[in-house]
Amino acid sequence: MNFVDTNFSFSYTPPSFLPGNTKARAEEQAIYDAEKYPESSNTIMCHNEVLDFFQKGRTTIIMWRKERGFPEPISKSPLRWIRSAVMEWIEHEGGFKAS
């Protein structure tokens, strides 16, 4: 008996998180201004990007954190936020006035 299938083909693409897979990272497009915010990434927002995004000052962001549930930063020095958490806050809470 011969169970060899000559029509079978197999291809494998390694996940992008594996070291050395620079092709996947090069194809990933930045969703932020990389020149203006070199400290940011597609998953992390730096302090200046957050301030510019909302066109607000530091004290407004602090007030939003205390009174309107704005996400806490993931690092205090330097300040960094998870981009998806900020976008979720905008979508679900950011457009409403504090009661």
pLDDT in tens, 38-89: 999 999 999 999 999 999 999 999 999 999 999 999 999 899 999 999 999 9
pLDDT band at 3 (very low <50, low <70, confident <90, very high): low
SS3 1: coil
CB neighbours (10 Å) of residue 23?
A: 11
| Distance separating alpha carbons of residues 27 and 30, to the nearest angstrom | 9
Mean pLDDT of all residues belonging to the chain: 82
Which residues neighbour 40 within 8 Å (Cβ) at sequence distance 6 or greater? 32, 34, 46, 49, 83
pTM over 0.75: no
